[in-house]
Amino acid sequence: MADSRSQVPAPGSAETMEAETAGAVTGDGARPAGRWHVSAGNARGAVHRSVGRPNQDSVAHWAGTAPSGETAIAVADGHGHSRHFRSATGSALAVTVGCRVGSRLAASLAGPAASRRVEAAVRSELPQTLVREWRAAVAEHLTAHPYTADEQAALDSAGDGPEIPYGSTLLLAVTWSHWLACAQIGDGDMLAVCPDGRSFAPVPGGVLPVGHRTTSLCQPDALDAFRVGVRDLDEDEVLALLLATDGYGNSQVADPWQPEVGRDLARLAAERDHHWFARQVPRWAQRCASADGSGDDTTIALLLHPDAMAMAARAGGTETPPPGPAEPATVPPAGPVPPAGPVPPAQPAPPPPTAAPGAGVRRPSRGGAPPGRPSQAGTRPGWRWPHGWATAIGIAAVALTVAVVLSATHLLARHGGGQPAPTTVTSAASPAPATSSARPVPVHGRRAGVTVIVALPPEVTASGPVTDALQTSHGIFLLAGHRVWRVPLPGGPAQRVLSTRPLAGPFGPLQPWPGGSIAVPGKNGHVIYVIDPDTLTVCVAGAGPSPAPACGAPPVNQNKKNPQ
Amino acid sequence: MASHKEHDSNEEAVMTAEASPSRMPGGGISRRPLHFIVVADCSGGMKGEKIQALNFAIADMMPHLAAWERDQEQAQVFVRAVAFATEPRWHIREPVPVSEIRWKPLQPVTKGLTNMGPAFAMVGEALAPGQLERRALRPALLLITDGMATDPPGGFEAGLAALMSQPAGRAALRLSVAIGRDAQSDALTQFIGDPGVPVLVADNTEDIADRLVAASLAVSRMSEVGADRGALARRLLGPEAAPRAIFEQETIV
């Protein structure tokens, strides 16, 4: 068996990982497994950045070359407390061990394994082997890098064992043939998405300690803290599997966020191929890790079914929450995994597909769901989110029509241009008919330490969904119908964007805006920004008068607190 | 996600920009909520100068929290308040973003007692599972009182037990400001539940604002993810406190 292992414990900005796992299973009851596509992103949290802490998340992926399409993906979150001062190493060791153990598990069960045998193997062997091998890896690392006298003294005074500084969570998913096995210790989330948008947790929900504590590989009774699940994919189709460290879930406004994310993933999977996801997932991680999200290190790994697009398309709409699948087979831990070898292919990301209208961008709302208010838990046959998904759906419905926030620029108005758009956006000053009921609601955002509140004025309506908005000092830019429209403001640049009040009308006639670069004069010359009309993405693309590079260039963060 | 802010001399070019609001599944993102609940004594004894000073102090404290909220990168602070005397009542029931709060003065209850237990129980209900976002940071509770608890026998303990029966109540950062040396009591120490976190004592009404600023500092810094609360308590509130004016006064115990 070959081994393809890539690891992304990126200490810096977001990292990308894309790969396919091959396989065409034949004979003995096994069926062709196709190729599961893996996308992953890992981003250092804004908080970590500001206090000089490293990225303590890790992600790794392994793909076998056997025909059963074996794949293992692991993410881990090293604990942030100072007691766990080697947690970045601990998480890196965890994902390495996870993939290695996962690869052996898949190899050992690659044949026509009966479900009972699979469940027994996962139940009895997986957690035990993970814990044992992680501890062995820690011991090996410790031998090579012993604690300093001060570190040892701190451990002694706290009564901590040698593994404590390496404390980390671990989320591991292994697929082969028609099986999916998952194991998790600590916080973070696993979300299995069905083709019709339903979703479920493939491991039982653990009772995690309140506050900032979590179960951990480093605790003495780690074995008991593992949560394990097995699923026969012949019985229950899974379109995608999302694994994420808690930086992702802690960023989500909706509570619970899983049902909506599941539906959106299914919808996106029907429209986009895996290359698109490979480009997006790192961005999602980056957004969640930013000061607009949890600010914590964030790692997201997405396993996408080989036929995801067709499956999702066949399943059709995801508007109505369908009945849930049966409770996934879950098993408690206990025994050892037979060894096997691993292998390598990882592929470069192909060129991104053209973006199309579809799932809208939901921008953060500052408060999100009203805090302090109870959300009613929802139930469905076979599965249940702890809090009301109905509430989340309500939030989602609002979010779907919402426009959002952001940025400001001084010279955007120069870039008006003309092109027709399938969706009309109108203001009171515009002769175009106002046909929309899609009314964006006020959205609060925080950017660069400044509160920006956008409330689209009542004069502005759209005939189609407005999926995003950009408020600037020269107008509100709306993304609607895959076009960007500019709603000019009265008074031009005099009306500052960094206002805590909604912009006041009346507004000028609407102007389609084709996108392009913007040069903004500043203290040190010009800063070039690029706005992608497709996604309304604003990128800092460089400085000086030169033409800006394509949107997607790494943004530059110049305003955040500099530790120096 | 990076953002950028550029200032120029004429302020016209002030701008912010954010990269990549990509098509992200879900209902959007935001910072993690930090719920800060003020539990304020409005008993008869607070009448007059004390309640005025307290209202000033609370109003003065909010900008400090708001400033911290702006400066850090992980939390959005929501404020609520309970006013208690013989009975507790919500002074601010729904969480209000700290940057938007306009403090409405507390009013003392004539002949009102200082029954803390029911106030704790009321806060406990607000922290029950399902009442807080699961992603919320540990809440922070600030008890401000000028007197000993006057609960009927067992009342204080029952109320505190109700609060502590909630996981979020147990996990909460609990601070207390005693107005006057006489107000410092075992009850407040019990409420805090952490020998490393002292009761902040305001010897007189002028001290109240300073104590609340100290409390807000503690709330903010000790709520940060990864914070070593013990070390911060020592540094911010204890004898090893940083040499800020408010910490150099001996009334910080």
Rg of chain A over Cα atoms, rounded to whole angstroms, equals 25
Which single residue is written with the structure tokens 């045998």? A117
DSSP A381-449: TTEE-SS-HHHHHHHHHHHHT--------SSGGGG------SS-EE-TT--S----------EEEEETT
Q: Residue A361 falls within a domain, yes or no?
A: no
Confidence of residue B8 (pLDDT cuts 50, 70, 90): very low
How far B203 CA lies from chain A's nearest CA (Å)? Answer: 33
Q: Is residue A346 part of a domain?
A: no
pLDDT at A437: 30
Q: Does residue A563 have a pLDDT over 70?
A: no
Of residues A497 and B131, the one with the higher pLDDT is: B131
Both A312 and A421 in one domain: the answer is no
Give the tens place of pLDDT for each residue, B165-192.
Answer: 998 898 888 888 888 877 777 889 899 8
Domain identity same for A315 and A442:
no
| Number of structural domains in chain A | 2
Tell me whether residues B2 and A555 touch, CB distance under 8 A. Answer: yes
Kindly report the number of other CB atoms within 10 A of residue A374's CB atom: 14
> Residue A176: which H helix or E strand, with range?
strand A170-176
Tens digits of per-residue pLDDT, A395-435? 333 333 232 222 322 222 222 232 323 334 444 443 333 22
Q: Which residue, A479, A496, A515, sits at the end of a domain?
A: A515
Whether residue A396 is contained in a domain is answered as no
Q: Is the pLDDT of residue A12 over 70?
A: no
Spatial CA neighbour of A496 closest among A453, A529, A457? A453
Looking at per-residue pLDDT, the higher value among B210 and B96 belongs to B96
Strands A466-472 and A461-462: unpaired
Residue A449 in contact with partner chain B when CB distance is under 8 A: yes
The verdict on A62 touching B (C-beta cutoff 8 Å) is: no
pLDDT at A83 over 70: yes
Whether the Cβ atoms of residue A70 and residue A63 lie closer than 8 Å to each other? yes
User: What chain B residue is nearest to A501 in terms of C-alpha separation?
Assistant: B100
Residues in A 351-390 with any Cβ partner in B closer than 8 A: 355, 358-375, 377, 386-387
Cβ atoms within 10 Å of A384's Cβ, excluding its own? 17
Task: State which of A502-506, B116-120, B134-138, B143-147 shows the largest mean pLDDT.
Answer: B116-120
- In the predicted model, is pLDDT for residue A26 greater than 50? no
Global confidence as pTM: 0.63
> What is the distance, to the nearest Å, from the Cα of residue A495 to the centroid of all Cα atoms in its chain?
36
Listed by number, the residues of chain A in 233-292 with a beta carbon closer than 8 Å to a beta carbon of chain B are 249-257, 260-261, 264-265, 268, 280, 283-284, 286-292
CB A476 within 8 A of CB A456: yes
Which distant-in-sequence residues (6+ apart) come within 8 Å of A266 by Cβ? A193, A194, A195, A196, A197, A239, A240, A312, A315, A318
pLDDT digits over B17-34, tens only?
A: 233 344 689 988 998 888
B5: closest CA of chain A, how far (Å): 5
What is the average pLDDT across A500-525?
Answer: 44
Q: Is A489 on the interface with B (CB under 8 A)?
A: no
Query: Which residue from A372, A374, A371 is spatially nearest to A388, judged by alpha carbons?
Result: A374
Distance in angstroms (rounded) separating the CA atoms of residues B34 and B65: 11
Q: How many CB pairs under 8 A join A and B?
A: 295
- Give the residue from chain A lying closest to B225, CA to CA: A212
The partner residues of A200 in beta bridges, in order of sequence, read A192
pLDDT in tens, A156-169: 988 899 999 999 99
**B26 with A364: Cβ contact below 8 A:** no
Look at residue B66 in the predicted model and tell me its pLDDT: 87
Q: Is the pLDDT of residue A20 over 80?
A: no
The pLDDT of residue A153:
92
Do A327 and A405 belong to one domain? no
- Residue-level pLDDT at B152: 94
Measured CA to CA, the distance from residue A522 to residue A529 in angstroms comes to: 12
DSSP letter assigned to residue B182: G
Q: Is the pLDDT of residue A553 over 60?
A: no
Instruction: For residue B238, name the pLDDT band (cuts at 50, 70, 90).
Output: low
The answer to whether B171 faces chain A, any CB pair under 8 Å, is yes
Closest chain A CA to residue B137? A211
Using the predicted structure, report yes or no on whether residue B253 has a pLDDT greater than 70. Answer: no
**φ/ψ of residue A550, rounded to 5:** -65, 150
Do A169 and A301 have their domain in common? yes
In terms of Cβ atoms closer than 10 Å to its own Cβ (0-12, 13-18, 19+), residue A299 is buried
Q: Which of A129-143, A257-271, A365-379, B69-83 has the lowest mean pLDDT?
A: A365-379
Question: Which tokens sit at A512?
Answer: 């389609």
pLDDT tops 50 at residue A100: yes
pLDDT of A236 over the 60 cut: yes
Please tell me whether residues A326 and A420 are part of one structural domain: no
Which pLDDT belongs to residue A186?
A: 92
Partners of residue B12 in chain A, C-beta under 8 Å: 410, 473, 493
Contacting residues of A for B164, CB less than 8 Å apart: none
CB < 8 Å to A387, chain B? 130, 134
| Interchain proximity B26–A404, CB inside 8 Å | no
Per the listing, tokens 């938007």 go with B100
CB contact under 8 A, B1 and A387: no
φ/ψ bin of A177: left (φ > 0), alpha (ψ from -120 to 50), beta (otherwise): left
Of A204-208, A451-455, A465-469, B155-159, minimum mean pLDDT range: A451-455
Would you say residue A352 has pLDDT above 70?
no
Residue A228, pLDDT above cutoff 90:
yes
Q: If you write DSSP's letter for every residue of A103-132 in order, what string do you get?
A: HHHHHHT-SS--HHHHHHHHHHHHHHHHHH
Q: First CA to last CA across chain B, in angstroms? A: 42
Closest CA to A173 of A186, A155, A191: A191
For residues A71-82, give the mean pLDDT: 91
Q: Distance between CA B228 and CA B222 in Å, rounded?
A: 7
- What 3-state DSSP class applies to A43? strand
Pick one of 3.40.50.410, 2.60.40.10, 3.40.190.80, 3.50.50.60 as the CATH number of B31-248: 3.40.50.410
Q: Do B5 and A266 touch, CB atoms closer than 8 A?
A: no
Token readout for A424 is 């009309």
Contacts of A392 (CB under 8 A, 6+ apart): A254, A255, A256, A257, A259, A260, A369, A375, A385, B27
- Asked if residues A434 and A461 have their Cβ atoms less than 8 Å apart, the reply is yes
Question: What is the pLDDT at residue A195?
Answer: 92
- What is the least distance, in Å, from the CA of A554 to any CA of chain B? 8
Q: How do residues A438-473 score in pLDDT, each as one tens digit?
A: 233 333 332 322 222 234 445 555 444 444 455 554
Residue A478 in tokens: 């709306």
Contact of A495 with chain B, judged by CB distance below 8 Å, is answered with no
**Cβ-defined contact of B4 to A373 (cutoff 8 Å):** no
Distance CA B168, CA B185 (A): 24
CATH number for the domain spanning A297: value is 3.60.40.10
Please tell me the predicted confidence (pLDDT) of residue A312. Answer: 87
- For residue B154, give both structure tokens: 């067992």
Which residue on chain A is closest to B16 by alpha carbon?
Answer: A407
Q: Which residue has the higher pLDDT, A531 or B123?
A: B123
SS3 for A201-264, per residue? Answer: CCCCCCCCCCCCCCCCCCCCCHHHHCEEEEEECCCCCCCEEEEECHHHHCCECCCCCHHHHHHH
Q: Which residue among A293, A316, A331 closes a domain? A: A331
**Domain identity same for A319 and A447:** no
User: What pLDDT score does B156 carry?
Assistant: 95
Range of the domain at A322: 4-331
pLDDT average, residue stretch B244-250 = 25
A473 and B15 within 8 Å at the Cβ level: the answer is yes
Mean pLDDT, all residues of chain A:
64
Rounded mean pLDDT, A486-513:
42
Determine which of A50, A79, A294, A384 to mutate to test the interface with B (most B C-beta atoms within 10 Å).
A294
Range with the poorest average pLDDT among A311-320, A539-548, B81-90: A539-548
Q: Which residues of A touch B165 (CB under 8 A)?
A: none
- Look at residue B13 in the predicted model and tell me its pLDDT: 24
